């Protein structure tokens, strides 16, 4: 009996020790992964509390990292970076239109998804281009459609495209939602073949991976002058616009998942994940 008790206590002691060591190891592992995450404000004058928008508040993850992004967004446009700056460098943008909520929520889910994940390359995520309009559930910033002024010096979208140039981004995705019956009104990936043909390759890949419609324009800057996608392609940064269907100012069922899947496809294009 006594021996059995000793054995039992020994077993409990061993298990506790193993769990203890395991706990230390796993917390080290988490720390190592977290060290590859950083964030900063890349545009000032755009800040706001995005949780004032109930759709954002109720649908974004509640992790520490997500909370840090929300806090930073009060000071301007936040950009979260995963990786050490090695290539390929991919940029995900959401919230060019503040009331297109699905992509902004999907971008926050992507931030959570990539946290601690092994990736090949560096991923830059701008989940809220102008947090102040996201907070107010409004489309425009200071009366401007930010997807028509990326070619106007100093606008938030112009500053973001310049940042993409400076960082030497090789794949850029700008994520939106479109109203049913709107323009383009379809779950889709938009691209152009000139001057940056790779825009088409990326959109074609995203379309094949997700089943969304492929919409091709011959030349960037014609149908949507001043759009983030177009101005990026004109600058030699291969870019696409991805749309999911959801009425503006709200979140249609399945639209966040659709947007997230487009983002996953964008990251798979160069084998980042
Ligand atoms: Zn839009």
pLDDT digits (tens, 9 = 90+) for 33-67: 334 999 999 999 999 999 999 999 999 999 999 99
Q: How far is the CA of 95 from the centre of ligand 1 (A)?
A: 8
What is the end-to-end Cα distance of the chain in Å, rounded?
56
Q: How far is the CA of 178 from the centre of ligand 1 (A)?
A: 7
Fold assignment, 38-269: Aminopeptidase (3.40.630)
**Per-residue pLDDT tens digits for 112-147:** 999 999 999 999 999 999 999 999 999 999 999 999
3-state helix, strand, coil in the chain (%, to 5): 45, 20, 35
Q: How far is the CA of 173 from the centre of ligand 1 (A)?
A: 12
Retrieve residue 40's tokens.
Answer: 């900063």
Which class for 209: exposed (0-12), middle (13-18), buried (19 or more C-beta within 10 A)?
Answer: middle
Q: How far is the CA of 227 from the centre of ligand 1 (A)?
A: 10
Q: How far is the CA of 62 from the centre of ligand 1 (A)?
A: 25
pTM: 0.88
> What burial letters (b/e) apply to 85-113, b meaning 16+ CB within 10 Å?
eeebbbbbbbbbbbbbbbbbbbbbbbbbb
- Residue 24 confidence (pLDDT): 40
Q: How far is the CA of 226 from the centre of ligand 1 (A)?
A: 13
Nearest Cα to Cα of residue 74 among 49, 55, 54: 49
Q: How far is the CA of 145 from the centre of ligand 1 (A)?
A: 9
**Per-residue pLDDT tens digits for 209-242:** 999 999 999 999 999 999 999 999 999 999 999 9
Q: How far is the CA of 183 from the centre of ligand 1 (A)?
A: 9
């Amino acid at each position: 009996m006594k021996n059995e008790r000793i054995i039992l206590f020994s077993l409990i002691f061993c298990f506790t020790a193993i769990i203890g060591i395991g706990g230390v190891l796993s917390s080290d592992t988490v720390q190592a992964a977290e060290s590859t995450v950083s964030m900063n404000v890349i545009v000032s004058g755009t800040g706001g509390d995005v949780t004032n928008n109930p759709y954002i508040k109720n649908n974004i993850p509640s992790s520490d990292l997500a909370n840090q992004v929300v806090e930073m967004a009060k000071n301007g446009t936040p950009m979260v970076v995963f990786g050490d700056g090695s290539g390929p460098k991919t940029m995900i943008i959401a919230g060019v239109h503040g009331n297109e909520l699905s992509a902004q929520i999907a971008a926050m889910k992507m931030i959570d998804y990539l946290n601690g994940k092994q990736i090949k390359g560096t991923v830059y995520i701008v989940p809220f281009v102008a947090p102040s309009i996201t907070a107010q559930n409004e489309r425009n910033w200071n009366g401007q459609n930010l997807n028509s002024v990326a070619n106007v010096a100093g606008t938030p979208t112009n500053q973001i495209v310049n940042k993409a140039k400076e960082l030497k981004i090789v794949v850029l995705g700008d994520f939106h939602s479109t109203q049913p019956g709107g323009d383009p009104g379809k779950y889709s990936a938009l691209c152009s073949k000139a001057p940056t043909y790779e825009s088409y390759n990326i959109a074609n890949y995203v379309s094949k991976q997700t089943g969304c419609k492929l919409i091709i324009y011959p030349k960037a800057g014609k149908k949507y002058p001043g759009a983030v996608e177009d101005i990026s392609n004109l600058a030699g940064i291969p870019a696409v616009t991805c749309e999911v269907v959801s009425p503006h100012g709200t979140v249609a069922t399945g639209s966040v998942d659709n947007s997230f899947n487009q983002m996953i496809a964008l990251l798979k294009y160069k084998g980042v994940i």
